[in-house]
Chains A and B, each alone.
Chain A
Amino acid sequence: MAADDPLRSKIVAGGTALVLMMRQGLVAPERLIALKHIPDLDGIEDRGEVVAIGACATVTTVASSPLVSSALPSLAYACRAVANVRVRNVATLGGNLAEADYASDPPAVLISLGAFCEVAGVEGARTVPVADLITGLYTTDLQEGEVITRIVVPKPASGTRANYIKYKSRSSEDRPCVGVASISSTSPDGSIASLSVAVGAVAPTPQHFPDLLEDAIGQRLDDSLAEEIAEAYASRIEPMDDLRGSAWYRTQVIRALVKRSLLDTEVGIR
């Protein structure tokens, strides 16, 4: 239905964003197709090496899931940090990704974890890495009539360090000015075995540069390497200006917080 009639029909999951846009007159659908009553889309499944999160699982469900808390603590933390409790109770992880709001927490964390989406549409099913899903401001790779059905997150090996820093420049209820998610694991000799860093809320899409991290593999994650990576990210990213901070300011904060995230300093909860 949504594919046939994209302007008049809108798919709704939690509805927090869609209802807002309707109230503001930005969209005026004649039909809302509610996903919440479709079974099987809201569970969280342990699939051994991955955790499969139903796209209609609410942010609260994800945040408070014992499985997510133990296997994917940085995701649980990021979900606890989203907006406020009323939004978390209703907003879904799939809806959050599909809306592709830049000032959002889950995308950066999911990218750092190497997550991908299972997508279903009239043409069939496919998978899309979250890193490739969000293509621009409020824009995704999803075609008309496609819905995310599951977000699949590989479980990091035990001993992996992962965190998410949500930096708010104004009040505590502000949307993020800069979000930094990082994850790293070490080899028995203490050198880096794997490393991923994603920065959200600073640009239309989450910022993630595997090429900047290649040389770090095999090195020790110390102060100076963390600084180097932070500087590289800060130089590569072209942040936006908005009321939360100028582009210049975001660059400084990116530099400071990427380093902090990598060294795991002062990160409230991992």
Chain B
Amino acid sequence: MIGADLRPTDAVERVVGTLPFVLDKKVEGMVHAAVVRSTFPHARIVDIDTEAALQVEGVLTVLTGADLAAESSIDPYFGGARKDQPILAIGKVRYVGDPVALVVAEDKGQAEEAASLVYCEYDELPFVESIEDAMVEGAPAVHDDYPDNACGWGKLRWGDVEQGFDEADLIAEGEYMTPAASHVPMEPFVTIAEWKGNKVEVWTAAQAPHSVRRTLASIFGLEQEDVRVQVLNLGGGYGAKGQTKIEPMAAVAARAVGRPVRLELTREGVFFTIGKHAARIRIKTGVKRDGSLVARLVDVAWNAGAYAVVSPRAVIQGMARAPGPYRIPNVWVDSRAYYTNTVPTGPFRGAMTTQVAWAYESQMDEIANQLGMDPLEVRRRNLLREGDLHPTGQPMHDVHFVELIEDAAAGIEWGDTSDVDLPPNKVRGKGLGVIMKSTVTPSRSEARIELRDDGSVVAYTSSVEMGQGAATTLLQILSHHLGIGTDSIRFVHPDTDVTPFDLTTSSSRTTFSMGAALEEASVELKHELTDLASSLLEASPADLVHEDGGISVVGQPGTRLEYLEILRRSKIEQLDAEGVFQSEGGLDPETGQGVHTIHWHQGAAGVEVEVDLDTGKVEILRCHGTSWAGRVVNPLRARQQNEGNVVWGTGLALFEELVFDEGQMVNPNLSEYLIPSILDMPRQITTREMESSEPDAELHGIGEMVIPALPPAVGNAVYAATGVRIVDLPITAERVLRGVMARRDQS
């Protein structure tokens, strides 16, 4: 089953459009909510006039932060790392889009109409929009508790960088910028909350149901068992739905009106809820003449936005990823996040990796150029190999960076410099990028399986299906370990009342982590079956063997008992087993030394671009994206991850950018924030989901490993084509043209 092209059982529903999303869910008696948002980046709330809103027909109530603050049974603040985010703004607003009031009405139209009639009066405060603004001494503080706007600091100290720089023959130094961006899941945030006595139940579009449960329990002072979170299919997650977002609003509203409340955000509301960290990366690298890296100093500043979400932890991830997949004896990284008065930021596909990879892979080519070396060769010389130490002190295992970059290069015929006839205004170039990522460690996934006496299996996991094929992949893994056909296995949707704990469906961890939990559960189930069969067959467990859903005595196929027979004859209706995956790790807060990740995620890309010298427009002619899968469970799903990465990376490379002006988000809509269409896809996309030759190789997640390699590969290709080095993403036509014309003026 591992490696089989199994299609999901709901393929028809997917195409016809009857696949259930929380967006479609209806709860009897439900009413609707609409959010009123701040129009100022930073301001004291003077007054919120709900008079006119309350007059609208159908309106049941209008809640404000002051209402919640006055409610002693609610803790109105939440947050994954710091509880700094109010359910509705209290006292002041911290970004344009900050929720300040929630209208609840019989229908959605009434709620929206009333929301437009809520009049807020503000006293403007000075605000900070950029990272640079926020880190200045004496800058306005987004949160009183953090006067320096500090929102996390990851420190990596390895070797002696100053000495390393002394030893270097060449120093490369640069500052690279990546902009804010938006996840744009097609399905918006949507939650239905309902109170049943003192318990609250939510249906929500979330990637981590247990995280939502814990947060709601904390807000309302409940035991976690009194909070139930259920998730259906997500219409895209990409990290946007990884932390609690609108569930608290829906839950407080439901409690206030005594009816189930449905809250669905508008597209603008989605833009105003979560974004991607913008970053400024300063990177200085010391290199020997032979191309070997001796020292790297990285100072990365991340824009956390108005609320911490998970930034204080995320900066640690970014810190460990900042040096890149390279063997460097001396490394110093400061990875700091800053609050600003802009939309809060959180994990975004390729989290805390795309930004630093833009810097280190662009610089790698700068180094190659300065040394007169082939960019592929420079990388080969320095990429981490098995047993090398990562700057966190962790030995690298199961790493294949060299194979990946070779494959990426081969995929675009790197060495082939044969000339193509091009008109005078067009030039072409090729570029490479190779990256490393890691997976959240420590982490925990639990699974439970029930074998019924009809031979069927029900599996309980809290892994969320969001298009990555988790449902199918886990089904194949379980089928493989149990030896039971996929037709006899059913997974239930995540439901915290029923499915056991999973940290999150994100960080490209599910295939590996939940797969491991299911494997352990399978082993336990088989032990239980062996014990039962042992008495039924009057044989020692050591003499029994499992095969394809049955047990027989070794060498005596005639003794075979199907699992369902074993249960029936033992008069057992159902056999349960559980499995747990738990990884351990952690880094010293002062040095960054320790265990960073259970295993390393690895990806590379090669691209060929064509640049129009008159307009600066860059077209990606072809792209080869490759990532380390270890073992591919489902070839189509795996390939789709890499292809999807190429499409996504194209947008990040060439045009995705959330723009702010005077604290206002300029483009919170799909007409001005552009994501790739079918015509933006590189004409030729090839991928390789690289596997080990070992049969029991570890499964590696590949949900986001090509994305971070794409932008620098494009930047390097543009450089090769034009001699223009773009240091700020996205690689817009205007930036390229400015560079082209500047070079023309110089010569």
Contact = CB atoms under 8 A, between A and B. Distances in A.
Q: Do chains A and B stick together as partners?
A: yes
Interface of A: 25, 167, 169-175, 243, 245-246, 249, 252-253, 256-257, 260, 265-266
A174 B734 contact: no
Contacts of A266: 423
Contact of B674 (A173, A253, A257): A173
Contact of A171 (B425, B615, B675, B741): B675
Contact of B615 (A167, A172, A174, A246): A167
Contact of A170 (B425, B614, B666, B674): B674
A252 B737 contact: yes
Given A170-B732, A253-B615, A266-B423, 15 more contacts: A169-B617, A169-B733, A169-B734, A171-B654, A171-B680, A172-B680, A173-B677, A174-B674, A243-B659, A246-B734, A249-B734, A252-B737, A256-B615, A257-B615, A265-B423
Given A173-B674, A243-B659, A256 B614 contact: yes
B615 A243 contact: no
A167 B733 CA distance: 11
B671 interface: yes
Nearest to B679: A172
B651 interface: yes
A162 B116 CA distance: 49
Contacts of B654: 170-171
Give the size range of B's interface with the partner: 20 to 34
B32 to A, nearest CB: 17
B61 interface: no
Q: Interface of chain B, helix or strand or loop or mixed?
A: loop
Q: Interface of chain A, helix or strand or loop or mixed?
A: loop
Given A175-B671, A243-B672, A253-B615, A170 B655 contact: yes
B676 interface: yes
Interface in B413-440: 423, 425
Contacts of A170: 654-655, 674, 732
Nearest to A25: B116
**Lowest 4 CB-CB distances: which A-B pairs, in order?**
A256-B614, A172-B679, A171-B674, A170-B655
Interface of B: 116, 423, 425, 614-615, 617, 651, 654-655, 659, 666-667, 671-672, 674-677, 679-680, 732-734, 737, 741
A25 B666 CA distance: 18
Contacts of A167: 615, 617
Contacts of B655: 170-171, 174
A73 B507 CA distance: 51
A4 to B, nearest CB: 27
B35 to A, nearest CB: 15
B617 A243 contact: no
Contacts of B679: 172-173
B103 to A, nearest CB: 15
Given A243-B666, A243-B667, A171 B733 contact: no
Contacts of B677: 171-173
5 contacts: A171-B675, A172-B679, A243-B672, A246-B734, A265-B423
Interface centre among A167, A170, A249 (most CB of B within 10 A): A170
A252 B741 contact: yes
Nearest to A265: B423
B694 to A, nearest CB: 42
B338 to A, nearest CB: 25
Contacts of B617: 167, 169
Contacts of A257: 614-615
Contacts of B737: 249, 252
B115 to A, nearest CB: 11
Contacts of B116: 25
A25 B116 CA distance: 9
A253 B616 CA distance: 9
Contacts of B423: 265-266
Contacts of A175: 671
A175 B671 CA distance: 8
A257 B616 CA distance: 12
